[in-house]
């Protein structure tokens, strides 16, 4: 086990950076977090935290707070654009996992993390309004350079500075713009009565004819819930990927205008949204190196991926756990960074590529092709349900959250 004489500099105070700070503190390793924004404000909409990520957050003592803010999901449910059930399966503890699956507002998840960091590490461990411009290093230390603050020196620097990572740009200066997948997303949240089980992560339709993912992320005392929804549609162009970009109903409502099912009224869900955000489906090509001496990448800085399958935030959390463990186990911090990269790089690169071609809702794509998009009488007459289960299991195996892999 390494001695506690190193200062670990974390660039970025998002989900990954804050989880890393907590994981390092749990191992008595000193760290500081440097965040570009002058203050944390609520951002984004819902996020799914699957058992592999909750395992890490539970070990950090955060499960009670997460449960108090989010909804413990019971099932994954898949429907065609006619509202017909295609496939469903239990999830989280309802599927036999040791840990739950929480659907939660991203802002609530971030608040749980930042509150825990300040409580355990102290407010002095988090430095706001520190915009990193580059990192410098020599044989003895690394220096993080800011455009509006004095440089900070440490043993290693961890770039958890997100999709538009400055540090990644320093190491890959010719990488260019994000890769646009030809799909745009609109996301919103709507307060209403529960639907289906009241804890269903629901996927409906296909990108070609209109696709939605819908799930509850907060519960209120009056029995209503805050429902998170997202739609994907093909587009030739897109706006910059900024989670705060406002969206307009008229730009995407057409495919869903008559989606009134006996279990959910989609036009009403969209019309009654508290707000709508627009975001392009973008990622970057996988890279074969994250670690450069005393600096390494993690989270979206290392493996920006399509926000599908609950794996954007989850993989950042798993990065944090692996990185903290390696920094604790190795006497040489540079060797720890290399071991972390070896453990995590190939796994996450495979998820990036899978999220492009066969995300979990590929189940609906298969059925849509077999039925030419028309209603069916019995799903068993279209496809053997065990084939649909196999598609779901394939994604779980790639993302490393199958029940068997979680028991290892």
pLDDT band, residue 374 (cuts 50/70/90): very high
Q: What is the DSSP letter of 292?
A: B
Q: Answer whether residue 1 shows pLDDT above 60.
A: no
Q: What is the dihedral of CA 277, 305, 400, 157, to 10 degrees?
A: -110
Q: What is the pLDDT of residues 196-222, one digit of tens each?
A: 999 999 999 998 889 999 999 999 999
Q: What is the pLDDT of residues 136-163, one digit of tens each?
A: 999 999 999 999 999 999 999 999 999 9
- pLDDT value at position 408? 57
The residues that bridge with 228 in the sheet, in sequence order, are 189, 215
- pLDDT value at position 407? 66
Residues 301 and 159: beta-carbon distance below 8 Å? yes
Q: What is the pLDDT of residues 305-333, one digit of tens each?
A: 988 877 889 999 999 999 999 999 999 99
Main-chain dihedrals φ then ψ at residue 221, nearest 5 degrees: -65, -25
Structure tokens at 353: 């590529």
For each of the domains in the chain, give its residue range(s) and CATH number, in order of start: 7-71+104-177+284-356 (3.50.50.60), 180-283+358-407 (3.30.9.30)
* CA distance linking residue 45 with residue 71, whole number of Å: 14
- pLDDT value at position 177? 87
- pLDDT value at position 43? 73
Q: What is the pLDDT of residues 23-32, one digit of tens each?
A: 999 999 999 9
Q: What is the mean pLDDT of residues 334-338?
A: 98
Instruction: Give the range among 182-196, 241-255, 275-289 with minimum mean pLDDT.
Output: 241-255
pLDDT band, residue 4 (cuts 50/70/90): low
Quick one: which of 167, 212, 207 has its CA closest to 190? 212
pTM over 0.85: yes
Residues 127 and 35: beta-carbon distance below 8 Å? yes
- pLDDT value at position 356? 86
pLDDT band, residue 348 (cuts 50/70/90): very high
Q: Is pLDDT larger for residue 395 or for residue 112?
A: 112
Main-chain dihedrals φ then ψ at residue 22, nearest 5 degrees: -65, -40
Q: What is the mean pLDDT of residues 169-190?
A: 93
- pLDDT value at position 311? 83
CA distances to 207, 226, 369, 391 from 270, rounded to whole Å, are: 17, 13, 27, 30
Residues 292 and 338: beta-carbon distance below 8 Å? no
Residues 304 and 133: beta-carbon distance below 8 Å? no
CA distances to 90, 117, 162, 297 from 12, rounded to whole Å, are: 35, 13, 7, 11
Q: What is the pLDDT of residues 216-261, one digit of tens each?
A: 999 999 999 999 999 999 988 777 777 678 999 999 999 999 999 9
Q: Is pLDDT larger for residue 108 or for residue 238?
A: 108
Q: What is the pLDDT of residues 46-75, one digit of tens each?
A: 999 999 999 999 999 999 999 999 999 999
Residues 83 and 73: beta-carbon distance below 8 Å? no
Helix, strand, coil shares, percent, the chain, to 5: 35, 25, 35
Q: What is the pLDDT of residues 71-100, one digit of tens each?
A: 999 999 999 999 999 999 999 999 999 999
Q: Answer whether residue 286 shows pLDDT above 70.
A: yes
Tokens 């990520």 label which residue?
A: 53
- pLDDT value at position 18? 98
Quick one: which of 310, 362, 308, 348 has its CA closest to 91? 310
Q: In what order do the strands lie in the sheet with 132-137?
A: 132-137, 142-146, 152-154
Q: What is the pLDDT of residues 165-178, one digit of tens each?
A: 999 999 999 998 88
- pLDDT value at position 2? 46
Kind and range of the H or E run holding 95: none
Mean pLDDT score across all residues of the chain:
94
* CA distance linking residue 81 with residue 78, whole number of Å: 10
- pLDDT value at position 238? 72
């Amino acid at each position: 086990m390494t001695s506690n004489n190193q200062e670990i500099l974390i660039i970025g105070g998002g989900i990954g950076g804050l989880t890393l700070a907590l994981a390092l503190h749990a191992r008595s390793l000193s760290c500081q977090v440097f965040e570009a924004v002058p203050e944390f404000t609520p951002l984004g909409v819902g996020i799914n935290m699957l058992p592999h990520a909750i395992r890490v957050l539970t070990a950090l003592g955060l499960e009670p707070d997460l449960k108090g803010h989010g909804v413990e999901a019971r099932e994954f449910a898949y429907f065609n654009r006619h509202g017909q059930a295609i496939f469903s399966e239990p999830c989280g503890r309802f599927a036999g996992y040791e840990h739950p699956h929480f659907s939660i507002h991203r802002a609530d998840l971030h608040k749980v993390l930042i509150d825990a960091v300040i409580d355990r590490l102290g407010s002095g461990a988090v430095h706001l309004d520190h915009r990193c411009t580059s990192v410098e290093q020599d044989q003895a230390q690394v220096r993080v350079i800011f455009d509006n603050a004095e440089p900070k020196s440490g043993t290693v620097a961890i770039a958890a500075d997100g999709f538009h990572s400055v540090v990644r740009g320093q190491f890959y200066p010719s990488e260019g713009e994000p890769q646009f997948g030809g799909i745009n997303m609109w996301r919103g949240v709507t307060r209403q009565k529960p639907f289906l089980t009241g804890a269903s992560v629901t996927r409906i339709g296909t990108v070609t004819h209109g696709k939605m993912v819908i799930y509850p992320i907060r519960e209120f005392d009056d029995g209503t819930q805050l429902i998170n929804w997202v739609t994907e549609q093909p587009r030739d162009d897109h706006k910059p990927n900024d989670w705060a970009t406002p969206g307009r109903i008229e730009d995407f409502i057409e495919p869903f205008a008559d989606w009134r099912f006996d279990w959910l009224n989609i036009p009403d869900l969209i019309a009654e949204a508290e707000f709508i955000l627009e975001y392009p489906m973008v990622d970057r090509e996988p890279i074969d190196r994250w670690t450069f001496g005393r600096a390494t990448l993690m989270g979206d800085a290392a493996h920006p991926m399509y926000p599908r399958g609950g794996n954007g935030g989850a993989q950042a959390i798993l990065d944090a756990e692996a990185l903290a463990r390696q920094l604790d186990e190795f006497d040489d911090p540079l060797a720890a960074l290399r071991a972390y990269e070896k453990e995590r790089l190939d796994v996450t690169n495979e998820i990036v590529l899978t999220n492009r071609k066969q995300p979990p809702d590929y189940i609906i794509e298969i059925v849509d092709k077999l039925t030419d998009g028309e209603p069916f009488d019995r799903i068993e007459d279209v496809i053997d349900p065990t084939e649909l289960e196999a598609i779901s299991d394939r994604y779980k195996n790639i993302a490393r959250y199958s029940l068997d892999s979680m028991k290892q």
